[in-house]
Amino acid sequence: MTITQADLLALLPLLVLGTAIVVVMLAAAFSRSARVPMLLALLGLALALASLPLAQQTVPRQVTPLLVIDGFALFYMCLVFAATFAVVVFAFAYFSRGGADHDHRALYILLLLAALGSAVLVASSHFASFLLGLELLSVSLFTLIAFARRTPRALEAAIKYLVLAGLSSAFLMFGMALIYADVGSLEFIRIAMLAHDSNDTYMLAGLALLLVGMGFKLAVVPFHMWTPDIYEGASAPVAALVATISKGAMLALMLRYFVSAGGYQSASAVLALTWIAIASMLIGNLLALLQDNIKRILAYSSIAHLGYMLVAFVAGGPLAVEAIGYYLSAYFVAMLGAFGVVSLLSNGAGLTDTERLEDYRGLAWRQPWLAGAFTAMLLSLAGIPLTMGFVAKFYIIVAGVNAALWLPVIVLVVGSALGLVYYLRIVAAMYSPLDTTSMVVLQPVVAAGGLMLVVLTLLLLWLGVAPQPLMQLLIHGGTLAM
């Protein structure tokens, strides 16, 4: 198949990011300072973001059977690139306080590789590109999780993620093999075309195995047990990456597969996802109530948030696709901001992250602007009005009500009420009287990290008060043909 100029233009964001990876790798090899690779990584991500409007001129475009570049793919690429940009800034603020002996030049190569794998995932229309993007993302992630190598927790978390990533990939490949044996194709669209002549047993078994593998990547119940240990063991910026682009890219890929390959035609698969959503909302919120570690609270809450998004996923239809896009955007901003606060308050060596609830007691009196930003992020995750989280949760509820998913919607409301309890526990600790006897030494905030946190906070509030720009973007460019 001949690659045309229009194909290259459609692939421009991926090409720019791939070039940036090579440039950052060379810079890391020749420069003794981590600042140069970091700045080049930010430049590469900025150029990749700037190339999205150019690629928009060619959409929708099928570039080989492997990738489809359309408004949906470009929207999620924008989310991935912007989230990675924020993580790079927080990572530099975090690791630059670790001392000269803690070399983190290679970190920025891995962050860009994870972004490239996620971008391939959201544009995949074929099982081959699905696996390529997934493995590129997974290999980068377990290396990033182990990057804070001075602490045994990071190494333990990386080993756990490696084992579970391999297990989930095995489920995915077995499921793909069964579907291929049934219909004779790995292309999502051809699978839908050939499914009516297929063996229902093979197709259903293959789809079930795919859901198991995807469930591990999304960390939804009952495939969630790895999540708190990974978040706790990884450094705060890497935990932000795992919580956002890893799950967002997989959810986008899963949505494209169900729409393109006819996954919604399987009543059993839709029913299974409904119960997974209900279990994730309840168990994620209930387990978060029992935690006193900020990272573990955010880990369990992320399970609940994926359950909320699965309510819209099960509902299907254009409104549900818009709801998922908006909710993911709000979730990205709030999670990046929350882990950004943890990053800015931690020592950067990876040994003593500021993550205990007691460490945040009286924060409002010592670092009032950090406490204010963290409060905004937590209130958005709880779905309080005037934040993106409120609009996002309302979007999800409307999609669920339109599809008459009464039980999941009721569980969503109950789960949101439970979530408010543990988010307010953190807020109450931050605004409680200062206890000098148990006060931890707070780290100085690096300017770039503080500026990024301000940007995220303003974005959270702006799109909570005036959500129309993002809604219009989703309506006109971020949807799939259902």
Rg over CA atoms, the chain = 21
- Strand 61-63 to 67-69 pairing: antiparallel
pLDDT (mean) for 119-123 = 93
- Residue pair 102/149 in contact (Cβ under 8 Å)? The answer is no
Exposed (0-12), middle (13-18) or buried (19+): which is 52, by Cβ within 10 Å?
A: middle
45: tokens are 């991500």
> The whole model's pTM is what?
0.92
Residue 28 lies in domain: 5-477
pLDDT of residue 413: 93
The total of structural domains in the chain comes to 1
Contact 378, 426 (CB under 8 A): yes
- Please, what is the average pLDDT of the chain? 87
Find the mean pLDDT for residues 98-125. Answer: 83
- Give the Cα-Cα-Cα angle 330, 262, 395 (nearest 5 degrees): 25
Q: Is residue 334 part of a domain?
A: yes
* Least trusted range by pLDDT, from 212-216, 366-370, 392-396, 399-403: 366-370
Of residues 467 and 353, more confidently modeled? 467
Q: Which residue has the tokens 């949101």?
A: 416
The pLDDT of residue 35: 83
pLDDT at residue number 348? 60
Residue 42's nearest CA partner among 91, 101, 76 is: 91
CA dist., res. 214 & res. 202, Å (int):
18
Q: How far apart are the first and last CA of the chain?
A: 28
The partner residues of 356 in beta bridges, in order of sequence, read 293
Query: Quick one: pLDDT at residue 444?
Result: 52
Whether residue 116 is contained in a domain is answered as: yes
Helix (H, G, I), strand (E, B) or coil at 124: strand
Q: What is the pLDDT of residue 480?
A: 65
In this prediction, residues 129-154 reach a mean pLDDT of 86
pLDDT of residue 188: 87
Q: Minimum mean pLDDT among 50-54, 314-318, 339-343, 473-477: which range?
A: 473-477
- Local confidence band at 174 (pLDDT 50, 70, 90 cut-offs): very high
Cβ contacts of 56-65, under 8 Å, gap ≥ 24:
56/477, 57/9, 58/6, 58/7, 58/9, 58/10, 59/10, 61/6, 61/7, 61/10, 62/125, 63/3, 63/7, 63/10, 63/11, 64/1, 64/3, 64/7, 65/125, 65/126, 65/187
Q: How far apart are CA 345 and CA 106, in angstroms?
A: 23
Structure confidence by residue, pLDDT tens digits, 310-345: 999 998 888 888 999 999 999 999 999 999 998 888
**Does residue 482 lie within any of the structural domains?**
no
Is the pLDDT reported for residue 412 higher than 90?
A: yes
pLDDT for the residue 349 = 54
Nearest one of 162, 209, 157 to 182, comparing CA atoms:
209
Q: What are phi and psi of 222, to 5 degrees?
A: -100, 25
Write out pLDDT tens, residues 250-278: 999 999 999 888 888 888 889 999 999 99
Locus of tokens 């006060």: 439
Instruction: Give yes or no for residue 100 having a pLDDT over 50.
Output: no
Task: Report the pLDDT averaged over residues 219-227.
Answer: 87
Under the banding of pLDDT at 50, 70 and 90, the label for residue 30 is confident
> Whole-angstrom Cα distance, residue 374 to residue 203?
46
Q: Is the pLDDT of residue 83 over 60?
A: yes
- pLDDT higher than 50, residue 432: yes
pLDDT at 397: 93
> Could you write out the DSSP letters of every residue in 274-311?
HHHHHHHHHHHHHHHHT--BHHHHHHHHHHHHHHHHHH
Strand residue runs (E) in 64-220: 67-69
196 in a structural domain: yes
Choose from 75-84, 140-149, 186-195 the range with maximum mean pLDDT. Answer: 75-84
Annotate 387-437 with three-state secondary structure.
CHHHHHHHHHHHHHHHCCCHHHHHHHHHHHHHHHHHHHHHHHHHCCCCCHH
- Rounded Cα distance between 167 and 160, Å, is 11
Q: Which of 107-111, 129-133, 433-437, 464-468 has the lowest mean pLDDT?
A: 433-437
In a domain, 300, yes or no: yes
DSSP 384: -
pLDDT in tens, 85-98: 999 999 888 887 75
DSSP state of 231: H
Query: Are 284 and 301 contacting, i.e. CB atoms less than 8 angstroms apart?
Result: yes
Task: Give a yes or no: residue 230 inside a domain.
Answer: yes
State mean pLDDT over 213-230.
88
3-class secondary structure for 37-91?
A: HHHHHHHHHHHHHHHHHHHHCCCCEEECCCEEECHHHHHHHHHHHHHHHHHHHHH
